[in-house]
Structure 1
């Protein structure tokens, strides 16, 4: 079976590796960029995605470039703790959760594809712009502006925007909390996220707030922004455990991105074409799910093709699951606890239990894990998608 993959991002490369592991040898990845370089900033890989990379034989290499996340903690805009929970192995998973530079992860996957499938398995400066191909299957893994998706759904238009803008950057700063904490602080509208992705001092951060007017270039992650100007938007967010404006201002560069996603689709496949990753289900960057869901797509697609000869089982399993996740992210997912704390105690609180009771916070976190597919009991006991 000949398989063509459009896009050499995390989803496309994970698909090539998954197909190879499932017994498919004739796989070629086409990438529009003339060169694959380690671009971007930090991302999180949840335990369900780390499980799939582990079963692809990448555990040691991944551990060498990533920071194992110790906890996830939410705070209000005054720096008061709203909710915290252990993550990864400390939370009972059989696999870690990792924070990692997106570009370093992409290069790790690229090296593995070239080593296992051959140096010619990834072709750069090779853009797929239509549904025409000379293979048995075309996999559209070409991102939020997917040409394959556009050919399948030509009337869809631009990604819808929710009125918020994100700024992303990396800065060297003083380790905070556990030194391996992922934190989010906010009020449901304005938000700041930070977590280490390097040697303990390199911190990935995301700042978010509403934007007046229409955003430029929906879906462009690389629009430059001035870190000092971003820092001024968070000037009073100085906590006794983290200097938010100082961390932002310390970045050498920052990038602006309107918060956009894609509406859920009625189908992902047609004849000899199928969508995967952001091309299928681009979602708001809530709950650390973008890259993780693309990796899971890759594994399920390979299993579906190897065990049934088609993509129907893949779409039947993955499309409802990611549709539910897209819609949950539009409602702020587990981050809704910050909005609830702000709405009920906008000036802060003495006891979070009197504002958002523990039972409510616990269920918000647990419900999102179930929706996103990383409930620890279910994940630990689920059969493997490896083809044996």
Structure 2
């Protein structure tokens, strides 16, 4: 079977590796950009995605470029703790959770594709503009502005925006909390996220708040922003354990991204074509799921093709799961604990148990894990998507 993959992002490259591991040897990835460069800032890979990369034989390479996340902690806008939980191996998973620079992960996958499928398996400067291509199957992994999706669903238009804007950057800063903590602080409207992605001192951060007026671009992660203006929005967010404005100000640059997603689709496939990753189910960057879900898509697609000869099982498994996750992220996913704490105690609190009881906090966390597919027991016991 000749398979063409549109897009050499994380989803597209993971697809090529997964197909090759499943026995498909005629796979070519077409990338519109003339050169693939390590762009972007930090992302998180949840244990279910790390499992898939491990089963693709990439565990050691991944560990060499990533930081194993020790805990996820939520705070209010005054730095008071709302909820904290261990992550990765410390939470009972058989696989770690990682924080990693998106560009470094992409280059890791690119190197592996070229090693395993050949130097010409990834063709740059080659844009897939529609559904007609010389192959048996076209996989649209070409992102939120997917040309393949647009050909399947013409007239869809720009991705819908929810009124919030994210600013992202990286800063050399002193370690905070465990030194491997991922933190989120906010009130349900304005939010700050930080976690280390390098040697313990390179911190990835995300600042979020409503934006007046229309954003200039939707779906462009690399638009530069005014760093001083971002700092001003968080000027009084100084905690005993983290100086938020100092972290923001210490970045070399900030990138602006309006929070957009895509509407769930009634189907992902057509005659000789199927969608994957953001092209299929772009979602708000909540709960650390964008890249992780694309990697899982890749593995399930390869398994479906190898075991049934079609994409039907892939869509049957993945479309309902990602639709539920898209909708959960629109409701703020596990981050809703910050909104609840603010609504019930806008000036802060003396005892979080009196504001958002432990049972409620724990169920919010557990429910999201079930929706996103990384409940510890279910993930540890699930059969592998490897073929053979």
Measured against the shorter chain, the TM-score band is over 0.9
Q: Specify the alignment match of 2:96 in structure 1.
A: 96
Pairwise CA distance, 1:229: 1.5
In structure 2, the partner of 1:151 is 151
Unaligned runs of 5+ in 2: none
Secondary structure of the residue that 2:63 maps to in structure 1?
Answer: helix
Superimposed CA distance per residue, residues 341-361 of structure 1 (whole angstroms, 9 cap, x where no aligned partner): 000000000000000000000
1:15 aligns with 2:8: no
| Cα distance in structure 1, aligned partners of 2:47 and 2:220 | 28
Q: Any idea what SS the aligned residue of 2:108 has?
A: helix
Describe how 1:72-151 pairs up with structure 2 within 5 A: 72-151=72-151
Q: Deviations over 1:84-105 (max 9, x none)?
A: 0000000000000000000000
SS of 2:4 mapped into structure 1: strand
Alpha-carbon distance in structure 1 between the residues aligned to 2:222 and 2:99: 20
Q: Structure 1: which 4+ aligned runs deviate by more than 2 Å? A: none
Task: Please give the residue correspondences for 1:368-383 in structure 2 after superposition, counting only pairs within 5 Å.
Answer: 368-383=368-383
Q: C-alpha deviations, 1:166-205, integer Å up to 9, x for none?
A: 0000000010000000000000000000000000000000
1:141 is displaced (CA, Å) by: 0.1
**Aligned partners of 2:178 and 2:54: how far apart in 1?**
25
Shift of 1:330: 0.0
TM-superposed CA distance for 1:155, in Å, is 1.5
- TM-score normalised by length of structure 2: 1.00
CA distances 1:67-120 after superposition (whole Å, capped 9, x unpaired) = 000000000000000000000000000000000000000000000000000000
Q: Secondary structure at the match of 1:166?
A: strand
Render the CA deviation track for 1:29-79: whole Å, top value 9, x for unaligned.
000000000000000000000000000000000000000000000000000
What is the alpha-carbon distance in structure 1 between the residues aligned to residue 38 and residue 288 of structure 2?
20
Q: Give the alignment of 1:230-249 within 5 angstroms.
A: 230-249=230-249
Q: For 1:48 and 1:260, how far apart are their aligned partners in 2?
A: 24
- Structure 1 gap ranges (5+): none
Please give the alpha-carbon distance, in whole angstroms, between the structure 1 residues aligned to 2:10 and 2:227.
Answer: 27
1:41 maps to 41
In structure 2, distance between residues paired with 1:198 and 1:232:
26
Matches within 5 A, 1:207-246: 207-246=207-246
Partner of 2:259: 259
Aligned to 2:363: 363
User: Aligned partners of 1:193 and 1:227: how far apart in 2?
Assistant: 16
Q: CA deviation at 1:275?
A: 0.1
- In 1, the alpha carbon distance for the partners of 2:283 and 2:326 equals 5
What TM-score comes out, normalization by structure 1 length?
1.00
Residue 119 of structure 1 aligns to a residue whose secondary structure is coil
Once the two structures are superposed, residues 110-154 of structure 1 have per-residue CA deviations (whole angstroms, 9 ceiling, x without a partner) of 000000000000000000001110100000000000000000001
Instruction: State how far apart, in whole Å, the 2-side matches of 1:227 and 1:246 are.
Output: 11
Q: Distance in 1 between matches of 2:72 and 2:82?
A: 11
Alignment deviations for residues 313-339 of structure 1 (CA, whole Å, 9 cap, x no partner): 000000000000000000000000000
Following the alignment from structure 1 to structure 2, what is the Cα–Cα distance between the partners of residues 114 and 87?
32
The CA distance in 2 between the partners of 1:357 and 1:304, in whole Å, is 43
Equivalent residue number for residue 318 of structure 1: 318
